[in-house]
Amino acid sequence: MQPPQMPHLNDLKTTRSPDSVSTTIHDHSKLTLSFFSLLLGSTIICTLGLLMNNPSIVIGGMIISPLMWPILSVAIGISFSQNKNIKRSLLIFLVAVLAAFVSATIVTFISPIKLINSEILARIEPTFLDVVVACVAGFIAALGVSHQRISSSLAGVALATSLLPPLCVSAIGLALLDMQIFSGALLLFSANVASILFVTIVTFSIIGLKKKRFSELRLKAMLVTVTILIIIANPLLTILEHQSFEILAYPKAKNILETRFKSYSPSINVDTIEIVTQKNGSLLIEAVIWLPSDLTISYVQQKELVTTLETALNKPINLKLKLQRTISILSEADERKALIKSKLTDIFYQNLSRLPRVSIDSLELIEDDSEVWRIQAVIRSDSSNNVPENLPDIIKQQVLSELHLTVTVQIEVMPRKTLTTQEDQ
């Protein structure tokens, strides 16, 4: 009895025949009615999903997108040094990209929703990590079309994730005449195309889908692709460095602003904070601050904040505070209490205005838990005879008569002293 054979762990080279792979790719990348139907349908769905800020709809559009086939056709043409197929596939890819771009632009014009949302903003600042994602997607796509155990539909989703959404976002930017969205998304799309093309060529070569002998055409194509990728990746690395620093700086800046403003007043709230690295290397920190209408943030306090932030983040800081005023909304009970206080104050002043040479030092109006009001006052008079002893009862009766409220009245009379010079004496 023969011992069981150990399974081969390395099965990457167990692929379909080169002819069947090449035929499958070329058949799916033909400019047929079904190809354009899938392309336009997926573009419309993806664009509407982006405008609606709905990631589920965006994913639905990516699943049916056929954009992966022309780019895989370019890669397989380079691997087998098929100059004619390379030109044909590039033309098909450019036509497909142009058709998707125009469709997304038209959809944006027609759509009643034209707001810039998180789904759109997520694709206008590409970083080197997006290149890494595209490279992985290209690797999966190459395996998916060449390996029997991997579904080609998975490969399509992998590539569509990197290609269709940024292309649609770029079209949205053009339709809205927003060049930042247009150029940022277009840069991401270009980086993803170069990354996918490079990785698929390398993967096809590793698993054996290539011309057997040395190919100058394949070498030149790979050098051109790598050069484009390096040129695009350089600014993406810079953007990634800035974003990484901004992410690390955010909690420090947030803690400093919240702590400092709370020390000014507990009623001040820090709402939103945005940190952006500027071209000169400084940080622009924009914060929305809510504070009561009777409070202000002085220039000195802002300078102190800037100094503290610069020390903590070790960078020049440009601080912009957007001050929003808060308005207290009184409840029905608060309004009733304020009205009672106003009327009690009027009654107290009316009674004291009838007395000669009497002034008020302090007046407190307090409502007890039992809804009984306490009036506590300190007044000054030249003589205690100017203030009748039954004044508290007079005030109490008037409050009961006019407001139907029970009150207790406590009045302390302080003598008024007159100081003169020795000559006057």
Residue 420 has pLDDT above 60, yes or no: no
- Which two structure tokens, joined as six digits, stand for 69? 């086939």
Question: Do residues 30 and 115 share a domain?
Answer: yes
Question: Do residues 276 and 409 share a domain?
Answer: no
Question: Do residues 351 and 251 share a domain?
Answer: no
Task: For 329-386, write each residue's pLDDT tens digit.
Answer: 656 777 778 788 888 888 888 888 888 778 887 888 888 766 788 888 888 877 666 7
Residue 53 has pLDDT above 70, yes or no: yes
Q: Quick check: is 397 in a domain?
A: yes
Question: Do residues 89 and 70 share a domain?
Answer: yes
Q: Quick check: is 301 in a domain?
A: yes
Task: For 108-140, write each residue's pLDDT tens digit.
Answer: 999 998 888 888 888 887 777 778 888 888 888
Output Rg (C-alpha) for the chain, integer angstroms.
39
Number of domains in the chain: 3
**Cα–Cα–Cα angle for 126, 36, 197, rounded to 5 degrees:** 40
Q: Which of 285, 311, 326 is the last residue of a domain?
A: 326
Contact 174, 114 (CB under 8 A): no
Mean pLDDT of 72-92: 87
Question: Do residues 318 and 353 share a domain?
Answer: no
Question: Do residues 154 and 274 share a domain?
Answer: no
Helix ranges (H only) for 54-151 are: 55-63, 68-79, 83-110, 118-121, 128-146
Question: Do residues 303 and 352 share a domain?
Answer: no
Q: Count CB-CB contacts under 10 A for residue 228.
A: 17
**Cα–Cα–Cα angle for 102, 104, 108, rounded to 5 degrees:** 115
Q: Three-state SS for 408?
A: strand
Question: Do residues 168 and 300 share a domain?
Answer: no
Residue 1 has pLDDT above 50, yes or no: no
The pLDDT of residue 46 = 93
Residue 33 has pLDDT above 80, yes or no: yes
Mean pLDDT of 42-58: 92
Give CA–CA dist 61/360, Å, rounded.
77
| Residues 6+ positions from 154 with CB-CB distance below 8 Å | 140, 144
Question: Do residues 54 and 130 share a domain?
Answer: yes
Question: Do residues 168 and 252 share a domain?
Answer: no
The pLDDT of residue 44 = 94
Q: Quick check: is 50 in a domain?
A: yes
- Residue 379 lies in domain: 332-415
Contact 283, 318 (CB under 8 A): yes
Q: CATH number for the domain including 383? A: 3.30.300.20
Q: Quick check: is 205 in a domain?
A: yes
- Which two structure tokens, joined as six digits, stand for 78? 């380079």
Residue 13 has pLDDT above 70, yes or no: no
Mean pLDDT of 195-216: 78
Q: Which of 297, 326, 355 is the last residue of a domain?
A: 326
Task: For 276-327, write each residue's pLDDT tens digit.
Answer: 777 777 888 888 888 877 677 777 888 888 888 888 888 888 888 888 776 6
Q: Quick check: is 372 in a domain?
A: yes
Question: Do residues 181 and 294 share a domain?
Answer: no
